[in-house]
Structure 1
Amino acid sequence: MTTVDLSEFRTPGRGRGILDVFRWHYLLRLLVRKGTQTRYRNSALGWGWSYVKPAAQFGVYYVVMGIILELHRNIPLFAVYLFSGIVMVNFFNESFSNATKSITDNRALVKKIYLPRELFPIAAVIGAFIHFLPQAAILLVVCLLMGWTPSLIGLAAIVVAIVIVAVTALGLGMFFGALNVAYRDAQNFVEIIQVFSTWSVPVLYTWHMVADKAPEWLFNIYMVNPLAAAVELFHRGMWRPVAERAIATDGGELFAGPANLWLNAGIGLAIAVVFLLAGQAVFRRFERRFAQDL
């Protein structure tokens, strides 16, 4: 009796999860290219919206928080502080939202052919990162004009901050993206989380304000929130060097950074990895019915 070698075959519809991305990297590039090319199709401003939206958001927050509530008096270079936080929160919100909708937005592909479903949320996060780059470029130019000089610890803080946000958004995006296929009201929970992500991190205020009002145990929980840790790391890399330079030139006092910043960042990264593992587990549990539910 002739035997057939099946070692090179895989069970249909079952893969190795995120690890399959390395094997199917060419498809990932195609999905990312598709997302970037069609993002502003038939739009007059095109990629100009990458600048207009954060600029409008920054203008509103600066007037309300900086001028009306006078936070600009207590925070040196408040505009840089505010914008550096905004670009990180926008990166998270866009990555999270796009990853959540990635399966339903690509229902035609999901229903017709098999490919690792994880490619869709990962491509969504990468697309959001590409959209994040023009905003970060504006911030970098402003900081350079103010005398920003890179340092090893500052660059490390920026990179770790981006990694924390990307991993957190991917994990939550896979979790809610899988639920969104079967239960479309999952998108409503995502929108609620996005509201909290904007107001529950030190962007429109400082961590000192939270420390002054919250019990110590609650403040410690607040600081290991992955998004809060990432924002403070990004402030450490972008805002603090130019703020220190301004203080040295003009005089005044710069408030200290949060204690145990790198420890909190490490815990935040660990929490982000837990989100990713949980998101992957739920995603693999639901992906068997994606085609039917779509």
Structure 2
Amino acid sequence: MSTSSPETAPEPGQVEVRHDLAHVPLAPPSRTSGVFEVFRRRYLLRLMVRREIRARYAGTAFGLAWSYINPFTRFLTFYFVFGVILGRGNGMQNFAIHLFAGMVLVNYFTESVTAGTRSLLSNRGVIGKMAMPREMFPVASMLVSLWHAIPQLVILVVACVATGWVGTGPLWVPDAVGMAASLLGFVIIMVYGTAFGLMFSCVNVIFRDFQRIVQTFINIIPFSVPMMYPYYLIADGERIPTQYHDLYVANPVAEAVMLIQRGFWLPTCDGPCVVKPATGVVQPDFVSDLYSRGFIMLGIGLVLLALGQFVFSRLEKTVPERL
């Protein structure tokens, strides 16, 4: 028969000290580490992303196929209007690749910002029931938008390969510098999309018309980047004064578009990619300091992301009562 040793009696005053919480520093119950806390809860983040993807295609007959159909029809529309009717592709090799490469990142950015702005309002039922960092919702919206960009990227790769096999140009072979440039373009869009999503989502809860203001500016994005027209139309100074050139290339979306065009469109060209139709003079494909500008844009984006986290942390306390 085993015997157990008697428990040691607590010393006088030990129980009182154990339950005395006066020395414990107070902290707000909602205190988190912001975006870093979101990625520490990767399982919950995956659930949120899957939930949004399933909700978007719930009840549809084609499901995920719409991720291929919608961008393809949008591409055909832009190509017919700007390439065939307006002749913006004159003097350019593989204008269709130039156009669609830009569309991939433009669509990713516009969807990420639009969905991020509405993310808190769209998940008002979840916010009141589950304890989680509220930054989870804008970040999940950005990742869902990235998921929708993957089918467009697949179409772009197929188009690049087909250009080499069917057309007269060289066989498309991705190079390391071009793929690194494309990756940098994606990262820039991810950072800026998340930063704007954090800032705009809380503002949209307070001021419900804000999402419509955002949508108004989003409609300008496709026309403010070298996607439907070559870059040299901005750089030559014939249509736009040269002093506005630096303002144009300061647009992070324009920078990201040129980076992905460097990875996918440039290798499909046989010789100079752009020649001025009237004179036959070779024109610049991209801004001269493309790569250094890319890293500068990324650094500015990280600062903007920190600012977005600061704004979100300040405003999120008012979210539950306004929802």
TM-score, scaled to structure 1? 0.92
Q: Distance in 2 between matches of 1:199 and 1:234?
A: 17
Q: Which letter maps to 2:266?
A: R
1:215 CA displacement: 3.3
Residue 272 of structure 1, aligned match among 287, 295, 301: 301
Whether the 8 Å CA contact 2:112–2:194 is kept in 1: the answer is: yes
Structure 1 residues 165-244: aligned runs within 5 Å: 165-211=189-235, 212=237, 213-244=239-270
Give 1:2-41 correspondences, 5 Å limit: 2-3=17-18, 11-41=28-58
- Cα 1:25–1:198 change in 2 (3 A) is same
Partners of 1:228 and 1:268 in 2: CA distance: 11
Deviation, structure 1 residue 280:
1.1
CA distance in 2, matches of 1:214, 1:128: 33
CA, structure 1 residues 63+22, in 2 after alignment: closer, same or farther (shift >3 Å)? closer
Query: 2:48 touches 2:140 (CA, 8 Å); kept in 1?
Result: yes
Tell me the equivalent position of 2:284.
256
Secondary structure of 1:2's counterpart equals helix
Q: How much has 1:48 moved relative to structure 2?
A: 1.5
Q: Alpha-carbon deviations, 1:94-121, whole Å to 9, x = none? A: 1111111111111011122321011111
Q: Among the aligned pairs, what percent are the same residue?
A: 36
For residues 17 and 7 of structure 1, do their structure 2 counterparts lie closer, same or farther at Cα, with a shift above 3 Å needed?
Answer: farther
Match of 1:138 in 2: 155
Q: How does 1:11-160 map to 2 (within 5 A)?
A: 11-145=28-162, 146=164, 147-160=171-184
Q: Which amino acid in 1 is paired with 2:136?
A: L
Cα offset for 1:279? 1.4
| CA deviations over 1:75-110 (Å, ceiling 9, x no partner) | 110111111111111011111111111111110111
User: Would you say 1:285 and 2:306 are equivalent positions?
Assistant: no
Are the equivalent residues in 2 in contact too, given 1:35–1:127 (CA < 8 A)? yes
| 1:200-242 deviation digits (Å, cap 9, x = unpaired) | 1111112211122333332112112110000000000010101
Unaligned residue ranges in structure 2 (runs of 5+): 1-15, 165-170, 274-279
1:56 shift after superposition:
1.6
Unaligned runs of 5+ in 1: none
Report how far residue 274 of structure 1 moved: 2.8
Give, in angstroms, the shift of residue 43 of structure 1: 0.8
Q: Name whichever of 48-57 and 233-242 sits farther off.
A: 48-57
Is the CA contact 2:89–2:229 (under 8 Å) kept in the aligned structure 1? Answer: no
Select between 214-223 and 110-119 the one with higher mean Cα deviation. Answer: 214-223
Q: CA deviation at 1:10?
A: 5.9
8 Å CA contact 2:272–2:282 kept in 1: the answer is no
Counterpart code for 2:290: L
TM-score (normalizing by structure 2)? 0.84
- Partner SS for 1:71: coil
Partner secondary structure for residue 177 of structure 1: helix
C-alpha distance in 2 between matches for 1:154 and 1:182: 43
Q: Distance in 2 between matches of 1:54 and 1:60?
A: 10
SS of match in other structure, 2:219: helix
Structure 1 residues 158 and 138: alpha-carbon distance in aligned structure 2, compared to 1, 3 A threshold: same
Structure with the greater alpha carbon radius of gyration? 2
The code of the aligned residue for 1:207 comes to: Y
Matched residues in 1 for 2:112 and 2:217: separation? 13
Aligned partner of 2:3 in structure 1 is none
CA distance in 1, matches of 2:25, 2:271: 60
